[in-house]
Amino acid sequence: MTVPVLVEADASGGDISAWRGLDTGQTGLVSLAAASRMSVPVQTPITADAWAETGVVNASAADATLRHAVEVPGGLRVVTAPADPLEAGRAVAMLAHNPSLLRAGHVTVLDVGRAVPGSAGAALLRHADVVIALTDPGEVGNAARLRACAPVLASLREEGIRVGLAVAASCPHPDHEVSQIASGLPVWGRIPHDPTGAALVRGEHHPPTRVRDRVAAWRSQRRDPDSLEWMPLIKAAKALAELCDDFSWIGLDSKPQRAVEVSAA
Distances in whole angstroms, Cα of residue 221 to Cα of each of 153, 169, 230: 40, 22, 9
What's the whole-number mean pLDDT along residues 146-163? 87
220: pLDDT confidence band, cut at 50, 70 and 90? low
115: pLDDT confidence band, cut at 50, 70 and 90? confident
**Number of residues assigned to the chain:** 265
- Sign of the alpha-carbon torsion through 119, 95, 262, 131: positive
CB 4 within 8 A of CB 106: yes
Q: What pTM does this model have? A: 0.75
The lowest-confidence range among 160-164, 176-180, 186-190, 246-250 is 246-250
What's the whole-number mean pLDDT along residues 96-117? 81
Residue 223 above 50 pLDDT? yes
Per residue in 18-34, pLDDT tens? 888 887 777 899 999 99
Give pLDDT, residue 86.
93
For the domain covering 5-194+256-264, report its CATH number.
3.40.50
The residue ranges of every structural domain in the chain are 5-194+256-264
CB 3 within 8 A of CB 56: yes
Give pLDDT, residue 44.
43
Distance, C-alpha 244 to centroid of its chain = 12
Give pLDDT, residue 143.
84
